Amino acid sequence: MDTQTEKEPGPHKKTPPGWLWWSLLGVGLYVLDQASKLWIVHRFPLNYLNEKVHKYAYLPDFPGFHHVNADGTLDFATNGHIPAADMAQFQDLNPNTVDALNRLRELEPISFLDGTMNITRVHNTGVAFGLGNGTAWSSYLFLAIPVLAIVALVVLYRKNFFHTVWLKLAYVLLLAGVAGNLTDRLMQGFLIPYEQPHGFFTKLMNGYVVDFIDVTIPLFNYRWPAFNVADSCIFVAAIIFFIASIFSARKKEEKPS
């Protein structure tokens, strides 16, 4: 009699994603963020307008565009070429500037869903919701904060703070998002045409984050501040942390004293 018994296979256990999968996810999100921003910078080239045009931009009856921000970015909506009669009112505008104004129509946002969602180009030297945007101190502060945030994330990871699958996902999203926006602050100042004559430190301090997703919430008719892929990663990570903290608190309450 054969005493050998056939062993039944045990229940299959799902193996959590390893470091390779997490790394691929983080790198993929970072590449998506940077590639989308490079396309935006290429699709919406920055036409530098001189200080005289900045002055005219604040006149309510000035044709061509609505507003020029302090950092040189444009909020505009044109209806084709600016009539010669209108331009004749502004004798100190040179022909190159006139051509730049006439080309502003090419920079109008790409609209979807009847204007509810737009793809545009926005410069943000601040943080979420435009806080600190355009201030003299924003470049210094918001260049240092992401560096410190990355260091803190790495330290917490080494201390096994991100010990669950969801917390690891939040970690990867945060790291990719912070690194993506930090890259903007380090690099974009060197790509601005009118900053080329300036020195290294000036270009570095004129860095900004490229935002391009402009959404209006129909129910409330609220125009959400423009954001990008990196911002989305950070936002989702914050939601995951919030939900994880709720479940962690519930587990502590359920434990017998």
Q: Which of 61, 66, 67, 22 is nearest to 171 (CA)?
A: 22
Q: DSSP letters of 131-189?
A: TTTT-SSHHHHHHHHHHHHHHHHHHHHHTT---SHHHHHHHHHHHHHHHHHHHHHHHGG
Which listed residue (33, 184, 211, 214) is catalytic?
211
Active site residue 211: yes
Q: What does the DSSP 8-state code read for residue 91?
A: T
Catalytic: which of 33, 184, 214, 231?
231
- Residue 8, classified by CB atoms within 10 Å of its CB into exposed (0-12), middle (13-18) or buried (19+), is exposed
Q: In whole angstroms, what is the distance from residue 53 CA to residue 66 CA?
A: 11
- Which residue, 136, 139, 116, 147, is CA-closest to 216? 116
**Catalytic annotation present for 92:** no
Residue pair 82/102 in contact (Cβ under 8 Å)? The answer is yes
Question: What count of other Cβ atoms lies within 10 Å of the Cβ of residue 125?
Answer: 28
Going 155 to 158 to 159 to 162, the CA torsion angle's sign is positive
Q: Which residues are catalytic?
A: 211, 231
